[in-house]
Amino acid sequence: MFYPLYVHRDEGSAYGGTFPDFPGCFTAADELADLPRMAQEAVEVFFEGEDTEIPAPSDIARWKDHADFQGGFWLLVEIELAQVNAKPLRLNVSLPAHLVQRIDRYTEAHHMTRSGFLARAAAESLAHRA
């Protein structure tokens, strides 16, 4: 999902990024091109082990006149929510055996877990429907 990231830079310093949708979540990078990767990492750390739902992205227009977000610029950064390790919830799911076998072959070849694969597939499917 694409989240708004407010970017600011004081002369001679790194680029700083703030997520208005995640109050208290900040990131920084020396090069602007590195900011999206650092933003992903910041969100992963911010929500690690938390038992909370990750909010949907807001519209930048909501924040453009806010006093905390003046003098910089906005980026939309893609955050892979499947990689954000919020506190897991164990559940029991039944799937056809042939599908589980295909999933297991794929996850083994890609060094993933079955749970990680299913979480990523669900997040991607839901993102395309949002």
Q: How far apart are CA 84 and CA 46, in angstroms?
A: 9
Domain 1-85 has CATH 3.40.30.10: no
Q: How far apart are CA 75 and CA 101, in angstroms?
A: 40
What are the boundaries of each domain within the chain? 1-85, 88-130
Is residue 15 classed as helix, strand or coil in its secondary structure?
strand
Q: What is the pLDDT of residues 79-117, one digit of tens each?
A: 998 888 766 678 899 999 999 999 999 988 887 788 878
Q: Do domains 1-85 and 88-130 have the same CATH topology?
A: no
Q: What is the pLDDT of residues 13-51, one digit of tens each?
A: 899 999 999 999 999 999 999 999 999 999 998 988 777
CATH annotation of 88-130: 1.10.1220
Is residue 93 classed as helix, strand or coil in its secondary structure?
coil
Binned at pLDDT 50, 70 and 90, residue 130 comes out as: low
Q: How many CB atoms lie within 10 A of CB 81?
A: 20
Please tell me the pTM assigned to this model: 0.65
Give the rounded distance of the alpha carbon of 44 from its chain centre. Answer: 7
